[in-house]
Amino acid sequence: MDDTEQRILDAALRVFASEGFTGATTRRIAEEANVAEVTLFRKFKSKKNLLKEVLINNRTVFSSMEDLFQLFQNEKDVNLETELRILGKNIAKAMRDKKKDSKRRMFMFMLFEEGRRRPEVSEALSSFLQMNIKPLSEYFDLQIKNGKMRTTNSRSAAITFVSYFVYTSLLREVFGDSFFGEHDEEIERFIDIFTKGILKAEEK
């Protein structure tokens, strides 16, 4: 992969993420990448095509959720609740630490908007989301098999889990940390509800 091309792709990711597809200008992207605007067109033909290439370029990088799961592949005797708590905090940590991730998250967010109008975009988005949900529901299936988790639809459980993290990280992005309190405490509370439910014991 060309260095100049890569720099343009990275810049495009950033600018698309912060301005949206319509709001992003090729001039801004070129500026961000430190190339002449014309170079951008020579390499990528059109703005539309650039978006497509950014998507392809980041397809593997987006699957960060998959990496997080490799942590658990070996450890077998750990408590499920503890494991999820660790997973949740790792996700939160990844979101906090890496500024790159914030850009990616916002880029994804932009894809939601753009996906409503452009089928190729929604397709790319769909396969990315599946990439997050699939390993998680496979993990849940395993836990059910191991008798650590009660029999529920594993995909529904995965969606519930992912919903929370997507939604709250979105809110944190828009409102800063003012909307919630401390990250880890909030996650503790979610995991508590997710694992034990909200009902009183005798009501079940």
Residues that bind a second copy (CB under 8 A): 18-20, 22-23, 79-81, 106, 109-110, 112-113, 115-116, 122, 125-126, 129, 140, 147-150, 152-153, 156-157, 159-160, 162-164, 166-168, 170-171, 173-175, 179, 186, 189-190, 192-201, 203-204
Among 18, 20, 31, 41, binds DNA (CB under 7 A): 41
> What does 38 bind: DNA, a second copy, none (CB cut-off 5 to 8 Å by kind)?
DNA
Q: Cβ 120 to DNA, closest distance in Å?
A: 15
CA atoms of 11 and 13, how far apart (whole Å): 5
* Under 8 Å between Cβ of 107 and 128: no
Interface residues for DNA in 11-40 (CB under 7 A)?
Answer: 24-27, 34-39
Q: Is residue 48 within the footprint of DNA (CB under 7 A)? A: yes
Q: Note the Cα 14 to chain centre separation in Å.
A: 15
The b-or-e profile of 83-107 (16+ CB within 10 A means b, else e) is bbbbbbeebbeebeeeeebbbbbbb
Q: Is residue 1 within the footprint of DNA (CB under 7 A)? A: no
Q: Which is nearer to DNA, 2 or 77 (CB)?
A: 2
Q: Measuring CA to CA, how many Å separate 149 from each of 141, 146, 200?
A: 9, 8, 19
Q: Measuring CA to CA, how many Å separate 33 from each of 7, 10, 27, 29?
A: 5, 8, 10, 6
Q: Cβ 39 to DNA, closest distance in Å?
A: 3
